[in-house]
Amino acid sequence: MNISDYKGVMVFAERRNGTVQKIAYELLGMGRGIADRLEEPLIAVLVGAGLGDAEAAELIAQGADKVVLIDHPDLGVYMTEPYTKALAKAIEAFRPGIVFIGASTIGRDLAPRVSARARTGLTADCTGLAVEDDTRNLLMTRPAFGGNIMATIVCPAHRPQMSTVRPGVMRKLERNPSRKGEVVRLDIEIGPADRNVEILEVVVEKAVKKNIEEATVLVSGGRGLGNVGNFRKLDALAGELGGLVSASRAVVDAGWTGQERQVGQTGKTVRPDLYLALGISGMIQHIAGMEDSEYIIAVNKNASAPIFEYADLGIVTDANKLVPALVEELREAKAAR
């Protein structure tokens, strides 16, 4: 493989139920910086059924120089093999040096299959991406070992350099409708051998679960709260603040709440305006999921808890006793207005 034959930054623009997902724009925002640094084009690949010109235009407005549309009736619903075939074909046709894919439950299924097919490396759940000065290699930084350390990974001799990036980690660009770009269509054949599974039922549970990634205020509980009863008391506090309750991995592992509320490396990455951490010690795997929050308040009775190193405001006290006091203070403050 001659790695200098591979140029450009490709972004897989994830689309569900006919809608391009936010992660696609976040990847374009980040990929734009990498592409500019390399002075190479930024290519968005959109896979689906019945793709519209407006979707391509939006990808260009959000940073793409080129949009590759792979449109086929069998690509309407995500299925591993047809999507793998589509993305592998785009890689073969355009030979990008870098491919970014969202670390969603779709991207984390698709990316490894594509990387194995393309015989190249893949780095999961990157939180930092940069270009190395002398080699022009991609530096892919991710939390490792349960999130306790960070590792910078390189893929020096294989192309494309592939990585997945979690939703919410990168920022999209300010959209610019006057940005110019090219739209190309790539044909694909999908035969019975490619439809190697049969989807019997598609269930979309829209809006059933409130999404902690969208919340502007998160009241987050950790193992330090001691028991599920104390954890449930966060609901009232979240209600007063107009926010949602989230949790550390330990709390989810203990079964006090569901995984959809887990913040951290194996949970969700959040960046609310206010992150209130109650009884959370602050292991790096948790920090990785919330450190970009606008304002972080930590409450923990252990003064040496690592969370205080990341907090804008720290209160060393018993979080279980603080919660009702804070609910009361907030009610008084509201009444005074």
* Contacts of range 126-130, beta carbons closer than 8 Å, 24 or more positions apart: 126/163, 126/164, 126/165, 126/169, 127/165, 127/166, 127/169, 127/288, 128/152, 129/30, 129/34, 129/100, 129/163, 129/165, 130/34
The verdict on 123 binding another protein (CB under 8 A) reads: yes
Of 38, 131, 139, 186, the one binding another protein by CB under 8 A: 139
- Interaction of residue 250 with another protein, rule CB under 8 A: yes
Of the residues 82, 96, 181, 314, which one makes contact with another protein according to CB under 8 A? 314
What is the footprint of another protein within residues 149-168 (CB under 8 A)?
149-158
Whether 141 contacts 150, CB under 8 Å: yes
CA distances 20 to 13, 83, 102, 155, 177, Å, are 7, 15, 12, 29, 17
Burial code (b: 16+ CB inside 10 Å, e: under 16) for 150-188 equals eeebebeebbbbbbbbbbbbbebbeeeeeeebebeebeb
Residues 282-311 that bind another protein (CB under 8 A): 284-285, 287-288, 291, 295-297, 299, 303, 306, 308-311
User: Which residue, 33 or 112, has its beta carbon nearer to another protein?
Assistant: 112
Is residue 2 close enough to count as binding another protein by CB under 8 A?
A: no
Report helix angle 319-336 to 234-241, nearest 10: 30
When asked if residue 75 is in the footprint of another protein (CB under 8 A), the reply is: no
Query: Can residue 146 be called a binding residue for another protein (CB under 8 A)?
Result: yes
Q: How far is the CB of 61 from another protein (least distance, A)?
A: 25
Is position 230 an interface residue for another protein (rule: CB under 8 A)? no
Which residues in 32-71 contact another protein (CB under 8 A)? none
For residue 74, state whether it binds another protein (rule: CB under 8 A).
Answer: no
Tell me which stretch binds another protein (CB under 8 A): 26-34, 51-59, 65-73, 252-260: 252-260
Nearest to another protein of 150, 188 (CB atom): 150
The size of the interface with another protein (CB under 8 A), counted in residues, is 96
- To the nearest whole angstrom, how small is the minimum distance from the Cβ of residue 199 to another protein? 5
Cβ-Cβ contacts under 8 Å for 152 (sequence gap 6 or more):
128, 139, 140, 141
